[in-house]
Structure 1
Amino acid sequence: MSIVVRSLVRLYPDAFRERWGAMVEDEARGTGWKSWPNLVVGIVDMWLHPAVWPADSPAQRQRRVATMGITVALAAWFLGHLAAEQAGPLPAEAVREAVMHGCTVLLLLGIALVAPLPRPTPGAAITLLSWAVRRLAGPTALGTVVVVLVHGGIDADASPPTLRTAVLAAWWIALGLGAIQIPRIFTGVGADAVVPPGPGRLRAGVWTLAGASATGGATLLGGSVTGAGLHPLGAGIGVGLLLLTAVCAGTLRDLRGLPSA
C-alpha cells in the first residue's frame, strides 16, 4: 500500500510536494486504501489550480497560470480542429464554419494575451529556441512525413485502408504531441528567458479563452443533439470544450487572489 501512496503523491505538482508532500503521504499511509480516492481527487484539483500552488513570488504564479491558459487554448484548438473534420451531424456547414472560425480567432487572441513575452536578449532567444527544438522536433518530423506522403506518394483511393488509417492516425498524433509539448516549453524555460503577463492581461486572456470554449462547446453540443440523430463524437467534443470553459472559470476565481500589480 505504501508503494501506491508514494506513487500517487508523486503525481502532485512539484511545488505542492516540496511543501506538503511528506505530510500528505504520512496521513495517507495512516488511513490506508481509503485515502486513495481522495488523493486522486486532490491531484486533479491541484493541477487545475496552478495559481494556488506554493510560490516564491506572484510572478511565478502568473507564469504557471499563463502555462495553464496556453494548455487550455491548445486543447480547445485541438478539439475544434477535430470537430472541423466532421460533416453532417453538426450545425449547418456555413453556420458551423462561421462559429468555429470566430472561436479560433478568440483562441489566438487569448493565447496572445496569456503567453509570456520573451526577454529581448540573445540569451533568452537561444534558450527559447533550444527548448522549442527539443520539444517540437518529434511532432514536427512526424507531421512532415505525413504531409510528404499525402502530397507526394499516397493515392487516397488506391492505397490500402490500413495505410490510410496509419497515416491519418500519425497526423492526429503529431497534432496532439505538438499541443502537449508547446506548454512544456514555457514550463521549462526560466524567468531569465520570459516575462509572465500581469494579472490584468491574464484575466483578459482567460476570459477570452473561456468565451471561445463556451461558444464552440455550446454550438457543437447543440448541433449534435438536436439534429436528425445524436452524434456521439460531436457531442463529446462539445462537452470537452465546455469542460475547458469550467477550467477557465476556476482559473479566473483563483486569479482574484493575485495582486493587481
Structure 2
Amino acid sequence: MNAATLLTRLYPPAVRERWGADIGHEVSTSGIRSWPDTLMGAVRLWLHPGDWPETCTGQTRRVLTVALFALTAATGLLLRSAEPSSTLTADVHHPTGSVWLVPLLVGVGLAVPLPPLRAAALRRLTAAAVRTLAAPATAALTLCLTAWSGLAGHLTGPADAAMVLFYWLTLGFVALRLCTVVAHVTRTAAPPTTRRLSTALLSLGTGLALAAGQNLLALVRTAPHPGSLTDTLTLGLLAAAAIGTGHDLRRTKG
C-alpha cells in the first residue's frame, strides 16, 4: 500500500467515495510535501461532518455512530493502560472519582442504534455478531486461561514481553471487532437521529473532559508523571474532538 492510498483512507467514507481518486492523485503528484496538509485535511473533515457529502440517506449518522463507539473503545484502552488509577475510578464506593462515567455512559446509550424487531433481521445480526466476535473471544479466552493457570506470573524475559504484547493485541482486537459489530448493526438498524447523535457526542465529550480535568487536578496536587501527563493530554484531545464534532453536527444538520 503506497502513501497516497493510505492517506486517502484516513478521510471519512463519503469523502473518499466522492473525491478519493482526486485526493490520491494530488498526493501522488505532489509527493511527500503534501502529506502534512493531506493528513490535517482528513482531521478537519472528521471534525466537521456537516461538510460531508451523502451518497445514501443516513450515511453521516451511521459513520458517526461507529466513530463514537470507536472513540469509546480507544478511551477504554487508554484508561486500561493507566490502571491502577486512584483518580479515575469505576467504583460505586468512590463516587467522586467515577462521576466522569455518567455522561460518558449516557452518550453511549443515546448512540445505540435500534435494530429492527423482525425475527429474520435479528437472526442475521446475531449470526454476523457471532462470526465477527468468534476470533477475539477465542483470543480473550486463551488470555484468561493463561492468567488463571498462573503461568503468566512465572514468565520472564522475552516470554514475559511476548505475553504483555499478546495481552494488548487481544484488547485491541476485541475493541476493533466490537466496533465492526456496531458497523454491521448500523447497516440494518435505525441510526440515531441527528439531534440524538449530536447530544451523544456532546455527552461523551463532557465525560472525557471531566476525566481529563480530574487527572489534571491530581497532577497539580502531586509530582507530574510523564504517563499521567500523556493520558491527560490524550483525554483532553478526545474530549475536544467529540464536543467539536457534536456542535458541528447540530449546527449544520440540526
TM range (shorter): 0.7 to 0.9
**What is the CA distance between 1:197 and its match in structure 2?**
0.7
CA contact (8 A) 1:210 1:248 kept: yes
CA distance, structure 1, for counterparts of residue 25 and residue 162 of structure 2: 47
Alignment of 1:247 onto 2:241:
yes
CA distance, structure 2, for counterparts of residue 93 and residue 62 of structure 1: 30
**What is the CA distance between 1:134 and its match in structure 2?**
3.1
Residues 81 and 27 (structure 1 numbering): CA distance in 2 closer, same or farther, change over 3 Å?
Answer: closer
Equivalent residue letter for 1:185: V
TM score, norm. by length of structure 1: 0.80
CA distance, structure 1, for counterparts of residue 77 and residue 131 of structure 2: 21
Spell out the pairing of 1:43-122 with structure 2 (5 A cutoff): 43-57=42-56, 59-86=58-85, 97-122=94-119
Q: What residue number does 1:173 align with?
A: 169
Unpaired segments ≥5 residues, structure 2: none
Partner-residue secondary structure (3-state), 1:250: helix
**What is the CA distance between 1:37 and its match in structure 2?**
2.0
TM score, norm. by length of structure 2: 0.82
CA contact (8 A) 2:91 2:98 kept: no
CA contact (8 A) 2:88 2:97 kept: no
CA distance, structure 1, for counterparts of residue 237 and residue 22 of structure 2: 31
Spell out the pairing of 1:1-261 with structure 2 (5 A cutoff): 4-28=3-27, 31-57=30-56, 59-86=58-85, 97-151=94-148, 153-154=149-150, 158-160=154-156, 162-189=158-185, 191=187, 193-227=188-222, 229-260=223-254
CA distance, structure 1, for counterparts of residue 90 and residue 180 of structure 2: 35
CA contact (8 A) 2:11 2:45 kept: yes
CA contact (8 A) 2:49 2:249 kept: no
**1:141-171 CA distance string (max 9 Å, x none):** 12111211222x1166544465454444433
CA distance, structure 2, for counterparts of residue 16 and residue 250 of structure 1: 19
CA distance, structure 2, for counterparts of residue 196 and residue 93 of structure 1: 29
Unpaired segments ≥5 residues, structure 1: none
Residues 146 and 179 (structure 1 numbering): CA distance in 2 closer, same or farther, change over 3 Å?
Answer: same
Residues 168 and 21 (structure 1 numbering): CA distance in 2 closer, same or farther, change over 3 Å?
Answer: closer
Equivalent residue letter for 2:37: N
CA distance, structure 2, for counterparts of residue 132 and residue 232 of structure 1: 39
CA contact (8 A) 2:114 2:190 kept: yes
Partner-residue secondary structure (3-state), 1:118: coil
**1:200-240 CA distance string (max 9 Å, x none):** 2212211211111011112123323541x221112211111
Moved more, 34-43 or 156-165: 156-165
Moved more, 206-215 or 70-79: 70-79
**What is the CA distance between 1:76 and its match in structure 2?**
1.9
**1:21-68 CA distance string (max 9 Å, x none):** 233344445545432221122233334444532214552222222122
CA distance, structure 2, for counterparts of residue 159 and residue 31 of structure 1: 50
Partner-residue secondary structure (3-state), 1:117: coil
Residues 173 and 15 (structure 1 numbering): CA distance in 2 closer, same or farther, change over 3 Å?
Answer: same
Equivalent residue letter for 2:62: R
Identity level (%) = 29
CA contact (8 A) 1:8 1:39 kept: yes
CA distance, structure 2, for counterparts of residue 167 and residue 243 of structure 1: 30
